[in-house]
Amino acid sequence: MILIVDSGSTKSDWLAVDNNGNKLMDKIRTKGLNPAILSEKKLHKIIKKSTELKAHKNEVTHVFFYGAGCGTDNARELLSGVLSQIFTNAHIEVNEDTLAAVYATINHPKEAAVVCILGTGSNCSYYDGETLHQRVISLGYTLMDDASGNYYGKQLIKDYYFNHMPENVRIAFGAKYNMEADFIKYNLYKQPSPNAYLANFAEFMFLHKDSEYTINLIKDGIRVFAKNMIFQYREELKTVPVHFAGSIAFFAQKEIKEVADEMGFKVGNFERRPIDGLVPFHTKDL
């Protein structure tokens, strides 16, 4: 049994397939497994909570894990150690989520492209057809993650409290979410995965795209992301497209294309969930 995992900070999707790529069970979902923000104990607990993974752990021969927070050696080693302790018979590979996005969005294995992730968090890299190049190491949701779910959640909460929202939007936002200060601070400072908590608010933008306020909010975030991340590859952008993966990117396609026209880069493909594209990549040589 081969496990292919696509993990963000909010959730992790696990596919169990055989050597020919045939699915052996329904997709398994657990909470996100971000080793940059979760302890070893917490990572263990999340995986072991899945009855399906627990029941089949001894049958697993390979685990190919792609995840948010796996961009540094220490984070990869931490998660690899946890997975090795649970799936004791398996070969373990842990890579950053950007590589999964590359394999899922490029049109052929040797295509060069700039590939972006806009989900709970955000990231951007350049794939030259063989090697992934990362010019900015992510420092996480507190300092980076522009145009991500947690970025937009933060902006929405601030705009609500600073009275920067149009009144009708503010009323709708307050009706949908618990906006009591103590509740928000409890989730931000006393609960695990505050970035995932913030990202939950981003859905509001896509439910209220009839408002000029939300359209401008989406596009402003994309402009910041393009300036800080996409244009790290200014020379490459002259000849390659920019592909996008993740739910925020998928639902903001129109705004991304408009910002791309405005700022002068070429948009390529969009993939909401990269995991399905990883199956043929990992089974073709087994």
Average pLDDT over residues 125-131: 95
pLDDT in tens, 235-259: 999 999 999 999 999 999 999 999 9
- Give the side-chain half-sphere CA count within 13 A for 18: 5
From CA 110, how far away is CA 123, in angstroms rounded?
Answer: 21
Per-residue model confidence as pLDDT tens digits over 268-280: 999 998 887 788 7
The predicted-structure confidence for 11-24, as pLDDT tens digits, reads as follows 899 999 998 889 99
State the chain's mean pLDDT as an integer: 94
Q: Quick one: pLDDT at residue 140? A: 84
Q: What whole-number percentage of the chain has pLDDT above 90?
A: 83
Which domains are assigned to the chain? Answer: 2-100+275-283 (3.30.420.40)
Among the listed residues 151, 216, 208, the one whose alpha carbon sits nearest the alpha carbon of residue 175: 208
What integer is the mean pLDDT of 107-111?
89
Whole-number pLDDT of residue 285:
61
Please count the other Cβ atoms lying within 10 Å of the Cβ belonging to residue 135: 10
Strands laid side by side in the 113-118 sheet: 132-133, 122-127, 113-118, 242-245, 267-271
When pLDDT is cut at 50, 70 and 90, the band that residue 163 belongs to is very high
**How would you write 96-140 as a 3-class SS string?**
EHHHHHHHHHCCCCCCCEEEEEECCCEEEEEECCCCEECCCCCCC
For the cut 80, the answer to whether the pLDDT of residue 196 exceeds it is: yes
Asked if 96 and 67 touch (Cβ cutoff 8 Å), the reply is: yes
For residues 28-42, give the mean pLDDT.
94
pLDDT value of residue 138: 84
In this prediction, residue 227 has a pLDDT band, given cuts at 50, 70 and 90, of: very high
Please state at what angle helix 40-48 crosses helix 73-86, rounded to 10 degrees.
40
**At residue 51, does pLDDT exceed 70?**
yes
Share of the chain above pLDDT 70, in %: 99
